[in-house]
Amino acid sequence: LLHRTAALRRPQFFASARWPGYTVLNTTLQSTKSGGPLAGAWAVVNSIGDAGYLELTGKALGAVDEIVAGIERIEALRIVVRPDSTLIAVATDGSCDVFTIVDAMSRVGWHVQPQLSFNGTPPSFHLSVSAATADHVEEFLEELEKAVAGAVETGPVHVAPEIVELVRSLDPADLTEEDFDGLLAGLGLGGDPSAVDSEGASVGGAPLGLPEAMAPINALLDLASPTLREALLTAFLDRLLRPTRL
């Protein structure tokens, strides 16, 4: 589906930050459940049968128990709630920064999902465990312990006061290109408020820079209301996916 302008495409994007999990952000008409993965899941389940499915489930749940036990041995971390399935949510005791831990894990090849604070619930991260994780639990816990130690040493992410003031002044119902460009410029991600099209309308800065570390971005988003988080992330996706004429 092609759109003549970014403004016409914007309503296609979906964002929801109004829950204690990670911000849901989808850009496509099919959301996250396209036909390919569904067909693949159907084929796998029919291939391995009930016995194979139960075996994989047992491995995954066993890995969950091992990871939970390992996390409980790391002093700075706590399990948000005992998992009934294969999702584990983890918070800190305040001695270190969740977002710094997430970045450190990403650098060594482990993807854990940051989750922003919500309704008094502090920030956390979650991981999705599968049967494939079972053979790497010890490696994961070793890297997590190193990441936590590094986060304790460096301390929490600092957001410049002027950026905090800018974020708190933004109205999610009326977020303009100029507002977003100013925020990007303040974060060092590009953005040029003077960029306009042939008719004088703001088109936003280009190219959009991507950060090496996401901790400062997540710390900033954590300051915003859920509604503003949705508006900012939708604006970021819109800018990121705009074609650039070279």
For 182-227, write each residue's pLDDT tens digit: 888 777 776 554 444 444 344 555 456 667 788 988 998 999 999 9
Q: What is residue 35's predicted lDDT score, i.e. its pLDDT?
A: 85
Question: Residue 196: its pLDDT value, please?
Answer: 43
d(CA 147, CA 114): 14
Ranges of residues in the chain with a pLDDT under 50 are: 193-202, 206
Dist CA 189 CA 209 (whole Å): 5
Residue 213 pLDDT:
82
The pLDDT, as a whole number, for residue 179 is 85
Q: How many whole angstroms separate alpha carbon 202 and alpha carbon 217?
A: 24
State residue 175's pLDDT score: 87
Strands 87-92 and 124-128: antiparallel
For residue 165, which phi and psi values (nearest 5 degrees)? -60, -40
Which residues, listed in sequence order, are joined to residue 16 by a DSSP beta bridge? 24
